[in-house]
Amino acid sequence: MLLRHGQSEGNAEGIFTGWRDVPLTELGLVQARRAGELLLAAGLLPDVVHTSLRRRAITTANIALDVADRHWIPVKRSWRLNERHYGALQGKDKKQVREQYGDDVFRAWRRSYEVAPPELEAEADTDPAGDPADPHARPEPHVLTEALRDVVARALPYWTDQIVPDLRTGEVVLVAAHGNSIRALLKYIDRIDDQAIAGLEIPNGIPLRYDLDEATLEPVVRGGSYLDPRAAAEAVAAAAFIGR
């Protein structure tokens, strides 16, 4: 089960968020509850949850699991499931960036496989990754920008090392993460090519179910199935207007 976080303040305000750690909006909290109800209604009770290190994914998982009465399952977290680092675009208004740089550049920065946005300036305070000398800092590297390809490169080792072993024990695994870390996993699972991945949007807060062949881990149905297909289709259609 893949679950993109509910609507965040960055989503609502049309701002590039990336590694910034913003909370859910009221709507996002409602979407997280609804995600839990969908899990419950589908009888899909997660045995373990994997989250990123950002509160929008963590809170979404906490609320959804509480509603599904699975709040007590084991939790694993990793920066490797974080959203893509949006570099210097983090904190910037999407509409303004699109108007300033034009549709083609905007689209390439948002959805292309290989193009990374300009690097975050080192002194910018929009990066919550901690001081490596601080023993209490978040365990994640300092990243200045990422393309989706970079997200695939850092998410796949976690898939292989942490998520696959849980799947192999027959557990229902919930991954609570972000638009681009989920796109990265799906690119791999569904073998989507570098061009086609640009067209893949992940809606907020709707669990996406994959049944994987136990021998090959290939999806039984390519693309998986959303637990609320109509809401997912509407949200994906609306995503085309982001930045407009």
Partner 1 sequence: MTYTLVLLRHGESDWNAKNLFTGWVDVALSEKGLAEAARGGELLTAAGVTPDVVHTSLLRRAITSANLALDAADRHWIPVKRSWRLNERHYGALQGKDKKQIRQEYGDEQFMLWRRSYDVPPPAIELGSEFSQDTDPRYAGQPPVLAECLKDVLERTLPYWHSDIVPDLQAGKTVLVAAHGNSIRAIVKYLDGIDDETIAGINIPTGIPLLYELDEQTLAPVTKGGTYLDPDAAAEAIKAVANQGR
Binding site for partner 1 (CB under 8 A): 21, 45, 53-55, 58-59, 62, 66, 69, 71-75, 77, 135-136, 138
Q: Name the residue nearer to partner 1 (CB basis): 90 or 112.
A: 90
In whole angstroms, how close is the CB of 235 to partner 1 at the nearest point? 25
In whole angstroms, how close is the CB of 69 to partner 1 at the nearest point? 8
Q: Name the residue nearer to partner 1 (CB basis): 74 or 118.
A: 74
Question: Hey, what amino acid is at 38?
Answer: L
Decide if 83 is catalytic: yes
Length of the chain: 244
Q: Name the residue nearer to partner 1 (CB basis): 66 or 119.
A: 66
Q: Which of 5, 50, 85, 178 is catalytic?
A: 5
For the chain, state the CA radius of gyration: 17
In whole angstroms, how close is the CB of 172 to partner 1 at the nearest point? 12
Q: Name the residue nearer to partner 1 (CB basis): 76 or 107.
A: 76
Decide if 71 is catalytic: no
Question: Hey, what amino acid is at 57?
Answer: A
Return d(Cα 176, Cα 5) in angstroms, integer: 7
Q: Which of 9, 26, 71, 83 is catalytic?
A: 83
In whole angstroms, how close is the CB of 55 to partner 1 at the nearest point? 5
User: Which of the residues are catalytic?
Assistant: 5, 83
